[in-house]
Amino acid sequence: MPFASLGLSPALIKALADQNYTQPYPIQQEAIPAIMKKRDVLGIAQTGSGKTAGYVLPILMNLQGKTVTKNRHVNVLVLVPTRELAMQVSEVFITFGGALPERVKTLAVFGGVSINPQMMALQGVNILVATPGRLLELIEAKAVHVSDIETLVLDEADKMLNMGFREEMSLIFKLLPKKRQNLLFSATLNDDVTRINQIILQNPVIIKIEQEVDTFDLISQLGYFVSEENKGPLLRYLIKTNDMKQVLIFTSSVYKADNVADKLRKNGVKATAIHSKKSQGARTEALRKFKSGEMPVLVATDLISRGIDIQFLPYVINYELPRSPKDYIHRIGRTGRAESPGEAISLISPEEKHHFRIIQKKMGKWVTMIDSENINLHGF
Footprint of ligand AMP on this chain (CB under 6 A)? 21, 23-25, 28, 47-53, 309, 311
The length of the chain, given as a count of residues:
380
First to last CA, the chain: 52
Considering the complex, what minimum distance in angstroms separates the CB of residue 311 from ligand AMP?
Answer: 5
CB-wise, 48 or 232, nearer to ligand AMP? 48
How big is the CA angle at 191 (ends 357 and 180), to the nearest 5 degrees? 135
Considering the complex, what minimum distance in angstroms separates the CB of residue 55 from ligand AMP?
Answer: 9
Considering the complex, what minimum distance in angstroms separates the CB of residue 309 from ligand AMP?
Answer: 4
From the list 356, 358, 81, 27, the residue with the least C-alpha distance to 212 is 27
CA distance 353 to 380: 24
CB-wise, 48 or 342, nearer to ligand AMP? 48
CB-wise, 12 or 122, nearer to ligand AMP? 12
**Cα 119 from chain centroid?**
25
From the list 271, 190, 281, the residue with the least C-alpha distance to 235 is 271
**Residue whose Cβ sits closest to ligand AMP:** 52
Considering the complex, what minimum distance in angstroms separates the CB of residue 181 from ligand AMP?
Answer: 19
Considering the complex, what minimum distance in angstroms separates the CB of residue 90 from ligand AMP?
Answer: 13
Considering the complex, what minimum distance in angstroms separates the CB of residue 307 from ligand AMP?
Answer: 8
CB-wise, 47 or 346, nearer to ligand AMP? 47
From the list 370, 245, 215, the residue with the least C-alpha distance to 315 is 245
CB-wise, 3 or 224, nearer to ligand AMP? 3
Amino acid at 116: N
- DSSP-H helix ranges across 184-333: 191-200, 213-217, 231-241, 254-266, 280-292, 325-332
CA distance 346 to 321: 7
CB-wise, 191 or 339, nearer to ligand AMP? 339
Considering the complex, what minimum distance in angstroms separates the CB of residue 342 from ligand AMP?
Answer: 14
β-strand pairing of 315-318 with 247-250? parallel
Residue 285 has phi, psi (to 5 degrees) of: -65, -45
CB-wise, 46 or 221, nearer to ligand AMP? 46
CB-wise, 14 or 270, nearer to ligand AMP? 14
Which residues make Cβ contacts (< 8 Å) with residue 305, sequence separation at least 6?
A: 250, 322, 327, 330, 331, 334
Please state whether 199 falls in left (phi above 0), alpha (psi between -120 and 50) or beta. Answer: alpha
Please state whether 276 falls in left (phi above 0), alpha (psi between -120 and 50) or beta. Answer: alpha
Considering the complex, what minimum distance in angstroms separates the CB of residue 51 from ligand AMP?
Answer: 5
